[in-house]
Structure 1
Amino acid sequence: MTETAIADHGLIGDLQTSALVGTDGAIDWFCCPRFDSPSVFGALLDGERGGRFRIRPAGTGYTTRQMYLADTAVLVTRFFTASGLGQVVDFMPPAGSTATDTHRIVRMVQCVRGEMRFEIEVAPRFDYGRHPHRAEVGDQGAVFTANGTALTLHVVREPEDERKARVSMRDQDLHATLDLVAGDTRGVVLESAATGPARAIRVAEIQELFDRTVDFWRTWLSRSRYTGRWRESIQRSAITLKLMTYAPTGGLVAAPTAALPEQLGGERNWDYRYTWVRDASFSVHALLRLGMVDEAARFGGWLGDRIRERAGSDSGPLNIMYRIDGSSDLKEDVLDHWSGYRNSAPVRVGNGAAEQLQLDIYGEALDALYAAGRAGVEVPHRGWATISGVLDWLADNWDQPEEGIWETRGGRQAFTYGRVMCWVAFDRGIRMAVEHGRPAALERWTAERDRIYRQVMDQGFSPRRRAFVQHYETDVLDSSLLRMPTVGFVAGTDPLWLSTLEAMDHELVTDSLVYRYDPEASPDGLQGSEGTFSLCSFAYVDALTRAGRVQDARNAFEKMLTYANHVGLYSEEIALTGEQIGNFPQAFTHLALIDAAVTLDAAMDRAGG
């Protein structure tokens, strides 16, 4: 069985975990009780053995459309047949800010006009399919258990309704058919860690859950100050970032999926269900630009906790990534029993890059904290002491080889982007100290900041290429450097930058889509190639804008919008075919979209466009 295309999914979630729902009405990915827990439904990575929860019309004679209810994370999958129109309304009521094992997926099944027979299939595969399950079925629903965990399926119906779904069991999987006519609403609620048996739920109860969930999302989104040209795309990206935030800690997962390939059939299949310091820092910037200040404050607390946990560590104040609860055990493993998305193996869970040395994260973190401070988020004394300790450590350690932003596995180098972001760390620390009158080793920090600047200008710029390059021992270009003018290291109209941008235009850009770098020219320790990186494509828009090429930037941005899927979501990369590949949806891409749009909006306003 061929797995449903990555882009043919929408995302729902409750701010502690999430699920991907395909256009065929199947939940193909759901991990419980957290984003980084083992999957219960994993058909996205193995259509035969991964498990799914599907609701669709009986037979094959239907077409389907999918949409989000406006300004919410409520997903509607509509089915059109010769006999009627039906739909499945999927959502997860927010689980709150206290970690819990109890999560609910509500699936409202409705017949809008005519009549329709729906097929329901519930085929869980607990712990990535490594543990067989048992099912107990009754009139009120079913309970699936395996290895000490349970999922309870509650039936939605009115007590006076004598119509019942016709249920059968095959290999402990539930199969049912349900007949509805125009105006009917029925459905099921899947609940983890339920405290009692399956029960019949009245339609009014799930309608109340629906109303509360819609109100939650619209109330949250109403805090956005964005009124620019691309409001719908911006708001969808903001909701997507919020869906990928673990409410109990404020940690943001890079994506809610694992092992989706950067190249079909290739080995670049990584687990992104963790909180990268870099991604979380970028998200603070993006959300602050929309007026979402609370998220910035939560990140500041999360970051401070991580640094204090590693006080005195020889390997630095921060890991590059953490589990969403802040723990750092990310042992990488391979699921040999799964084939992988469209035979892209190995299927990796965990992430062996967790303890790499990537010095850029300190600049991104300090930049986010500085921006949060300017937005009104105050840094307490303990927080400033933590920041000072980070910069004192960085003063002793910035000038060493590292693995770099792309987590390459080809050895450490003096990566130019890492050096630039170390400059940012000192620059923002100095600004915070001066603006708020905080005690600081200003003379030392300033000396190190200036040393980095001179070093990058002397060794990070290739006179032959007339461009800033990936690291000091190569002439290879790297699109991470598109952020140089964004962070203020170089002016967007500086001749050195304009020639760098021109070189990237010729080597890394194809019809406004941008590659990270050329792996053939700069071996990264891995086999195969990859698609264009959507984060970099939006960063290119930002760089074009700052270079004064506003019309080019607008053209590139509008092209990128056409690569979103049908509900406005982006995966990590785009193949030359236009297909979305890599983990999905990717936080990096959505936050970069927000940044590019806000920068471009402002430039067009100034130009009167």
Structure 2
Amino acid sequence: MTGYPPIEDHGLIGDLQTAALVATDGTVDWFCTPRFDSPSVFASLLDAGRGGRFRIAPASDGWVSKQLYLPGTAILITRFLTEEGVGEIVDFMPVIDGAATDRHRLVRLLRVVRGQMRVAIDVEPRFDYGRGTHTTEITEAGVLFHGSDGTELALHVARRANLRPEDRMRVEEDAAGVHAVLTASAGEIGGVVLETAPDGPPREPGRDELLALFEQTREFWRRWVGRSTYRGRWRERVDRSAITLKLLTYRPTGALVAAPTAGLPEQAGGERNWDYRYTWVRDGSLSIHALLGLGYTEEAGAFLNWLSDRVRAPLPADGGAPPLQIMYRIDGSSDLSEEELGHFDGWRGSRPVRVGNGAAGQLQLDIFGEALDSVHLAATHGLPVTHAGWQRVTALLDWLCDAWDQPDDGIWETRGGRQHFTYGRVMSWVAFDRALRLADRHARPADVTRWRAHRDAIYQQVMERAWNQQRQAFVQHYDTSVLDAANLYLPLVGFVDARDPRWHSTLAAMDGELVSDSLVYRYDPAASPDGLRGDEGTFSMCTFWYVDALARSGRLDDAVLTFEKMLTYANHVGLYAEEIGRTGEQLGNFPQAFSHLALITAATTLDQRLER
């Protein structure tokens, strides 16, 4: 559909409190403020007519564009090639250091590097997911937008006095927003700064000020990337994934959002359109493995502190409610009420567009294993488990002793009813196993006998009930013969040895049913109804888990080839959405933290195995 670029035709910029997507045509078509989970100001990605946008592009026809990141940074460069000249838009958001703030700056530098270029600038905000109204105030120095929801935007315009009057930027208001056209020649640098919650009226930023913001942002990212301890074979890809995880981290709390977007579909025109701008205990816990593997202990520690604050200790008197919810807002609050934006058409007609997430109330037993696994791993890297932290650990385990042997909703958040999911059972085993290791290593008080009994009972139950003799494989849940790619995680957490015949036959079964060339499906929705209509693509995280499992199982050549093939499915700047479609297109919210953290862990596993 016209007006809706492919999901993969975007780069991501951000300031560690919110983020924006910039399309290859120079359009900012997704931006929420003041936080990742705030209402959108620009959302033409979800509704080309009512969503709002901020576009800078050549005013002529017949141009082509290219997009890249400034190496080692989150600064995005969009290049426009025309018959008259070549120009670049350099997009970035100066990183905010400190507490949460409503003030953010989106800087868009324009420079012409060859010839001459006539450039059009269109700013069309739509507040509160396009439901709000606004007034526009044009001044000599720029534009001020007043949203009906209380949000204010200032557009600061860098005017260049050395230009002829007819070539200077003129800002004009029309029905959609404001519009301006300017002409610039090789060597000239201009730009605009969009500021949220400005502390004054629009002003004219000078060239030196804009370049100083650019240099500060560049140096922040290069210093941060320079802290990585990764020196393996895929350094450029791993660094880009690490930068992406950092961009998806809400710095004031250390929480990691699953993705910066909402409503992007798992199938074009389908209904699997969720809001991922929240922090899943699972995603954040798994990110600990990726971050610690690269030497980023500060970021890992920040998330562990956030996670510790979420655990309720002591437990409520009734003992019924889980001590952890599966997801939270980035500030730790738990209200994620789901609603549909009925006035939005959705990306290429993919409706409904949802904000909030009703899955927050699901029971997913695996999160306790992922949380305890991350705590154990952090402890081995010198991040201590405090007395208060150990109290929270014991609270988790006390609850899990009474709760693990029940159906749950599973890792994939299906809406087709609870089952005895194998992955949930295995991760409950992990929770007990890692807690026992922590108690032993750090001489902490624990009901060791009880914990060990539950750990061993889970192991026996999974081996008896999750193993399907006919399929010669571990299956999705106890009452099915369906395979599930989540079970690729079994050898990664040590539940089953990667050399065990049962595991080799499980992997062989997945090869024949879930793997398509190098890509891996989560499960077959037709064989395992999940309560939702439609189909989906292959799941990128599962493909990287498959690489890891292949490497551990001794199939190293297959693992390297699969990994290299998967790298070809990244977009032009190395980003992945949640899924890959039939013709290689990105599907789902973008970019996806799960995909990038799994890439990092797969790369480090491959490096270790290749070195051996």
Give the shorter-chain TM-score range: over 0.9
Question: For residue 18 of structure 1, what is the aligned residue in structure 2?
Answer: 19
Question: How far is the alpha carbon of 1:136 from its aligned partner?
Answer: 0.7
Q: Secondary structure at the match of 1:308?
A: coil
Which of 303, 306, 316 is the aligned partner of 1:302? Answer: 306
Q: Say if 2:53 is the partner of 1:48.
A: no
Match of 2:187 in 1: 183
* Paired residues of 1:360 and 1:421 also in contact (CA < 8 A): yes
2:207 is matched with which residue: 183, 187, 203? 203
Q: 1:469 aligns with which of 460, 467, 475?
A: 475
Q: Deviations over 1:114-169 (max 9, x none)?
A: 11011000000100000121111122000111112110000123456565213221
Aligned length: 606
Q: Distance in 2 between matches of 1:573 and 1:102?
A: 33
- Corresponding residue to 2:286 among 267, 282, 289: 282
- For 1:565, the equivalent position in structure 2 comes to 571
Across the aligned residues of Structure 1 and Structure 2, the Cα RMSD in angstroms comes to 1.0
Q: Please tell me whether the aligned partners of residues 91 and 106 of structure 1 are also in contact (alpha carbons under 8 angstroms).
A: yes
Q: In 2, distance between residues paired with 1:469 and 1:310?
A: 36
2:28 equivalent in structure 1: 27
Per-residue Cα deviation, 1:207-251 (whole angstroms, up to 9, x for no partner): 111111111111111111111110000000000000000001100
**1:10 Cα shift?**
0.1
What SS is found at the alignment partner of 1:255? coil
1:97 is displaced (CA, Å) by: 3.0
The correspondence for 2:154, drawn from 152, 155, 163, is 152
Measured in 2, the distance between the counterparts of 1:201 and 1:291 equals 38
- Residue 110 of structure 2: aligned partner: 109
State the distance in 2 between where 1:123 and 1:2 align. 15
Shift of 1:464: 0.4
- Quick one: structure 1 residues 223 and 465, their matched pair in 2 at CA, closer, same or farther if it must change by over 3 Å? same
Aligned to 2:64: 63
Q: TM-score, normalised on structure 1?
A: 0.98
Residue 232 of structure 1 aligns to which amino acid in structure 2? E
**Contact 2:156 2:193 (C-alpha < 8 Å) held by counterparts:** yes
SS of aligned partner of 1:204: helix
Determine which of 513, 524, 536 is the counterpart of 2:542: 536
Q: Is the contact between residue 159 and residue 202 of structure 1 (CA under 8 Å) also seen in structure 2?
A: no
Residue pair 1:402, 1:412 contacting (<8 A) in 2 also: yes
Matching residue of 1:545:
551
Following the alignment from structure 1 to structure 2, what is the Cα–Cα distance between the partners of residues 292 and 87?
33
Deviation for aligned residue 1:95: 1.5
Deviations 1:538-582 (A, max 9, x none): 100001001100000011000000000000000000011111110
Among the aligned pairs, what percent are the same residue? 62
In the other structure, the counterpart of 1:39 is 40
Asked whether 1:398 is paired with 2:399, we answer no
- The answer on whether the counterparts of 2:314 and 2:392 sit within 8 Å (CA) in structure 1 is no
Shift of 1:53: 0.2
Deviation at 1:605, TM superposition (A): 1.3
Q: Deviations over 1:464-513 (max 9, x none)?
A: 00000000010100000000000000011110000000000000000010
The answer on whether the counterparts of 1:512 and 1:559 sit within 8 Å (CA) in structure 2 is yes
Are 1:353 and 2:355 matched, yes or no?
no
Any stretches of 5+ residues in structure 2 without a counterpart? none
Amino acid aligned to 1:155: V
What per-residue deviation string (whole Å, max 9, x for no partner) do you get for residues 322-363 of structure 1? 001000110000001010000000001100000100000000
Quote the Cα distance in structure 1 between the aligned partners of 2:205 and 2:293: 42
Q: Which residue of 2 aligns with 1:142?
A: 143
Question: Which amino acid in structure 1 is aligned with residue 349 of structure 2?
Answer: N
Counterpart code for 2:22: V
Gaps of 5+ in 1: none
The whole-number CA distance in structure 2 between the counterparts of 1:404 and 1:315 is: 17
Residue of 265, 268, 281 corresponding to 1:264: 268
Q: Contact 2:313–2:395 at 8 Å: present in 1 too?
A: no
TM-aligned CA distance change 1:579 to 1:507, over 3 Å: same
Task: For residue 263 of structure 1, give the secondary structure of its aligned residue in structure 2.
Answer: coil
Report 1:168-179 matches (<5 A).
168-171=172-175, 173-179=177-183
Confirm or deny: 8 A CA contact 2:313 2:392 kept in the other structure.
no
Q: Secondary structure at the match of 1:260?
A: strand
Contact 1:572–1:585 (Cα < 8 Å) also in 2: yes
What residue identity is the alignment partner of 2:347? Y
In the TM superposition, residue 2 of structure 1 has moved relative to its aligned partner by: 3.1
Q: Matches of residues 515-534 of structure 1 in structure 2 within 5 Å?
A: 515-534=521-540
Does the alignment pair 1:194 with 2:198? Answer: yes
The alpha carbon displacement at 1:310 in A equals: 8.2
* 1:89-128 equivalences in 2 (<5 Å): 89-128=90-129
* Aligned residue identity for 1:320: I
- Deviations along 1:34-77, one digit per CA (max 9) or x if unpaired, are 00001000011111111100001112221110000010000000
Q: Report the counterpart of residue 426 of structure 2 in structure 1.
A: 420
Task: Pick which of 84-93 and 303-312 moved more.
Answer: 303-312
Q: Secondary structure at the match of 1:206?
A: helix
CA distance, structure 2, for counterparts of residue 310 and residue 149 of structure 1: 40
Partners of 2:296 and 2:26 lie apart in 1 by 33
Q: One-letter code of the match for 1:471?
A: H
Q: Are the aligned partners of 2:159 and 2:169 in contact in 1 as well (CA < 8 Å)?
A: no
Contact 2:248/2:260 (<8 A) preserved:
yes
Amino acid at match of 2:533: Q
The aligned counterpart of 1:454 is 460
SS in 1 for 2:102: coil
Among 363, 366, 381, the residue aligned to 2:369: 363
Cα distance in 2, alignment partners of residues 376 and 290 from structure 1 = 14
Kindly indicate whether residue 340 of structure 2 is the aligned counterpart of residue 342 of structure 1. no
Distance in 2 separating the partners of 1:397 and 1:306: 19
Q: Give the structure-2-normalised TM-score.
A: 0.98
Cα distance in 2 between the residues matched to 1:581 and 1:110: 33
1:378 partner SS: coil
The answer as to 2:381 corresponding to 1:375 is yes
> How far did residue 172 of structure 1 move?
5.2
1:481 aligned counterpart, secondary structure: helix
Greater shift in the superposed pair: 128-137 or 312-321: 312-321
Q: How far apart are the structure 2 equivalents of 1:260 and 1:554?
A: 31
| Contact 2:59–2:119, Cα closer than 8 Å, also in 1 | yes
1:179-258 equivalences under 5 Å are 179-258=183-262
Equivalent residue in structure 1 for 2:393, among 387, 392, 395: 387
**Which letter maps to 1:10?**
G
Alpha-carbon distance between aligned partners in 1 of 2:219 and 2:438, rounded to the nearest angstrom: 38
Matches of 2:513 and 2:179, distance apart in 1: 53
Q: 1:309 to 1:240 in 2, by over 3 A?
A: farther
State which drifts further: 229-238 or 307-316.
Answer: 307-316
SS at match of 1:201: coil
C-alpha contact 2:229 2:294 (8 A) present in aligned 1? yes
